[in-house]
Amino acid sequence: MVDLIRMAYGVEKDKVVGGPPWISMYRFDVKAKAPADLTPESTRLMLKSLLVDRFHLVARPGSRPVDGYNLTVGKHSQLKRAEGTGELGCKQAMPKPADGAPVASQILTVTCHGVTMAQLIDVVRDLPRATRAAANPPIVDQTNLSGAWDFEFHYDVLAARGGDDTVFAEAFDQQLGLKLDKAMVPAPVLEVLSMDFDPTPNPADLAKYFPPPPSEFDVAEVKPSAPLTPGTRQMAEIKNGRVILPGITVGAWMRMAWDLEDTEVVGGPKWLYTDRFDIIAKAPDGAQIGGGTGQFDVEPVRLMLKNLLIQRLNLKTHTEDRPADAYVLKAVKSKLTPTADATLAGTMVLRTSPRIRICSTRRWGGPSRART
For 153-164, b where at least 16 C-beta lie within 10 A, e where not — what string?
bebbbbbbeeee
pLDDT surpassing 90 at residue 175: yes
C-alpha 256/C-alpha 264 separation (Å) is 11
pLDDT surpassing 90 at residue 199: yes
Quote the pLDDT of residue 162. Answer: 56
C-alpha 336/C-alpha 56 separation (Å) is 33
pLDDT surpassing 90 at residue 356: no
What's the whole-number mean pLDDT along residues 31-42? 86
Confirm whether pTM is higher than 0.85.
Answer: no
C-alpha 179/C-alpha 69 separation (Å) is 9
One-character DSSP codes across 308-368:
HHHHHH--EEEEEE----------SS------S-GGGTT-------EEEEEEE-PPP-S--
Give me the long-range contacts of 23-28 (CB less than 8 A, separation at least 24).
Answer: 23/192, 23/195, 25/347, 25/349, 26/1, 26/197, 27/1, 28/1, 28/4, 28/199
User: How buried is 165 (Cβ within 10 angstroms: 0-12 exposed, 13-18 middle, 19+ buried)?
Assistant: middle
pLDDT surpassing 60 at residue 51: yes
List, in order, residues 6 or more apart from 36 with CB less than 8 Å away. Answer: none
Report the run of H or E that residue 46 belongs to, with start and end: helix 40-55
Q: Are 272 and 251 in contact, with CB atoms under 8 Å apart? A: yes
pLDDT in tens, 311-342: 999 999 999 888 888 899 998 888 888 766 54
Where does the pLDDT of residue 122 fall: very low under 50, low under 70, confident under 90, or very high at 90 and above? confident
Quote the pLDDT of residue 87. Answer: 84
Q: Are 180 and 174 in contact, with CB atoms under 8 Å apart? A: no
pLDDT in tens, 277-317: 999 999 888 676 655 444 456 788 899 999 999 999 999 99
Q: Are 160 and 172 in contact, with CB atoms under 8 Å apart? A: no
Quote the pLDDT of residue 124. Answer: 80
List, in order, residues 6 or more apart from 22 with CB less than 8 Å away. Answer: 1, 197, 347
Which one of 41-45, 225-229, 333-337 scores highest in mean pLDDT? 41-45
- Which one has a higher pLDDT value, 217 or 163? 217
Strand order in the sheet with 149-156: 80-81, 149-156, 107-115, 89-93
Quote the pLDDT of residue 296. Answer: 55
- Which one has a higher pLDDT value, 43 or 95? 43
What's the whole-number mean pLDDT along residues 58-64? 93
Residue boundaries of the structural domains of the chain? 2-57+195-200, 66-185, 212-334+349-360
Where does the pLDDT of residue 35 fall: very low under 50, low under 70, confident under 90, or very high at 90 and above? confident
CA-based angle 240:238:311, to the nearest 5? 105
C-alpha 276/C-alpha 314 separation (Å) is 18
Q: Which amino acid is at 70?
A: N
Quote the pLDDT of residue 75. Answer: 84
pLDDT surpassing 90 at residue 45: yes
C-alpha 18/C-alpha 23 separation (Å) is 9
pLDDT surpassing 80 at residue 11: yes
Rounded to the nearest 5°, which phi and psi values hold at 369?
Answer: -90, 155
Quote the pLDDT of residue 134. Answer: 40
Q: Are 8 and 44 in contact, with CB atoms under 8 Å apart? A: yes
C-alpha 69/C-alpha 25 separation (Å) is 31
